[in-house]
Structure 1
Amino acid sequence: MGMPDAEGHGPPEGLPDLPPEWGRVVVPDDASALAAEAAQVRRELRRAAPHAGVRWAHGLALPLLVLLVAVLTTLAGLVAVSWPRTIRSTDRPAPAPYAPPALTGRALPALDLVDVGQKPVPLRGLLPAMIILVDGCPCPDRVAEAVAASPDGVAVVTVAGGPTVAARPPTTGPAARALADPAGGLRSFVGPPAGPGTATALLVDRTGVVTRVLPELGPADAYRADLAALAA
């Protein structure tokens, strides 16, 4: 058992030894004698309690912050997935309106085209003329109308793209002079067609100057006066 203290008092029978650094431990017979020590212990516990709460709050703040960031990240991902996206239109944008090059007042280039027999034909040797590019549209009705409206001395010439003259149905009346443009020189000069199913026409005077451009050949009434001016 434990060693007795300086007055010969040892630990009660059946209790373990107390640490020697505690010194002498005296248990009073009356518990009220410990009231002052109990009050002091309670005061110390009350003073330590707020500091313990602060330490607990600091220890809990970091896990809560991590949890909050994880929740916000998850919510942001869900919103990005479920947010209705703009449906891309499969319709192609409307093409820009055709703007013919500024050819009026310019000289027709000296081009050699070919006829149905592949013989070269100088285009300037046919002036004055209404030259109709039929690579985008044969447009036989419009061509026939132009031939009928053309005065004497003004030729109507159709020019097909490629190396050969396009076949055309036989006609009993006057017909246009059919040529082909193997090198594409006239098409390069005029520019691209206004659109599919359209024919472009040039009115060129006897000096080789373009007097008018018709991006889409229409009824003869739209250019009848220009044909008459070519014959003057």
Structure 2
Amino acid sequence: MGTPGNSEGSPEFGGQPDGLPDLPPGWGPIVIPDDPAELAAEAALIRRELRQQTRRATWRRRLGLGRTGSLTAVRLTLLIMPLALIAALGSLFAVVWPGQQRQPAAPRTSTGGSPGRTLPALDLVDSFAAPVALRGLLPAVILLTDTCACGDQVTAVAMTAPTGVTVIVVTSGRSRPSPLPSPPPVVGAPIRALADPAAELRGFIQVEGRPGAATAVLVDRSGEIVRILPALGSPTDYQLDLPELTRR
């Protein structure tokens, strides 16, 4: 049991001394226990709440949290730097790991003389060292034979080419053309042997020659390149393209 407190303000009835304010009315009746041990449970609860508040304040102070809950710039930097370092080390490890082999880059292919482009106005040289306008012989199948004699390939093209198409045999790096293949075809498209001393045509199409095979450039009457065959093979490889040379 406890003794009820007196809020009349008189010291003789247990109230407050004169000159001191009374307790707030909202507190209600105040009972002072005879045995202080009766307040042990409430005291333990209050101490636990104070310890929790103390721990929260300690951690907030260690993490640099202000009253508004935002990280200070220094603390934020210290938190981000270890994460960035771990990510960088992980990327470096993945690159140098022996099991990881980088794929070789695909070779770049030039499109200087690719199909759809227009053949430039080049002057080649005939057997008399006279200039010949290449575009004056169109439509044509131009065979670059600087890597082979290619007699059989020249004959096969001449026998396959339709009427009105000229077969031009070009030798690069010479002042005069090489002799025509022997024996020449009895029937078929006319063959012109020309030389390209500066190898301008090879430089324009930007296709390297392959040993033992001619490079074929199919050009229609307007000068547009229809197809380029880096290594000429069987006539079946270009037969379907030949009619296109005279239709444009």
Structure 1: stretches of 5+ with no match in the other structure: 1-95
Q: Tell me which residue corresponds to 1:115.
A: 126
The structural deviation recorded for 1:194 is: 4.0
- Alignment match, 2:176: 164
Within a 5 Å distance, the mapping from 1:128-143 to structure 2 comes to: 128-143=139-154
Q: Is the 8 A contact 2:155 2:185 kept in 1?
A: no
Normalising by structure 1, we get a TM-score of: 0.55
Report the 3-state secondary structure (helix = DSSP H, G, I; strand = E; otherwise coil) of the residue aligned with 1:211: strand
**Residue 144 (structure 1) aligns with:** 155
Q: Secondary structure at the match of 1:157?
A: strand
- For residues 97 and 141 of structure 1, do their structure 2 counterparts lie closer, same or farther at Cα, with a shift above 3 Å needed? farther
Q: Deviations over 1:186-229 (max 9, x none)?
A: 11112242422221111111110101110110111111111111
> Cα distance 1:148–1:99, how it changes in 2: closer, same or farther (>3 A)?
farther
Against the structure 1 CA distance between its residues 192 and 225, is the aligned structure 2 distance closer, same or farther, given a 3 Å change threshold? Answer: closer
Give the root-mean-square deviation of aligned CA atoms.
Answer: 2.1
| Distance (Å, rounded) in 2 between the aligned partners of 1:205 and 1:132 | 14
Q: What is the TM-score with the length of structure 2 in the denominator?
A: 0.51
Distance 2:232 2:142 in 1: 11
1:184: Cα distance to partner? 1.4
Structure 1 position 109, deviation (Å): 0.7
Q: How many residue pairs align between the two structures? A: 137
Q: Which has the higher contact order (CA 8 A, sep 6+)?
A: 1
What is the Cα deviation at residue 171 of structure 1?
2.3
Give me the whole-angstrom Cα distance separating, in 2, the residues matched to 1:188 and 1:125.
20
How far apart, CA to CA, are the structure 1 residues paired with 2:154 and 2:110? 20
Cα gap change, 1:142 to 1:100, in 2 (>3 Å): farther
Give the aligned partner of residue 219 of structure 1: 234
Residues 141 and 123 of structure 1: CA distance in aligned 2, closer, same or farther (over 3 Å): same
Provide structure 2 residue ranges, at least 5 long, that are not aligned to the other structure. Answer: 1-105
Other structure's SS at 1:145 match:
helix
- Displacement, 1:144? 0.4
Deviation for aligned residue 1:182:
1.2
Q: Structure 1: which amino acid aligns with 2:225?
A: V
- The residue aligned with 1:230 is 245
Q: Residue 143 of structure 1: SS of its match in structure 2?
A: helix
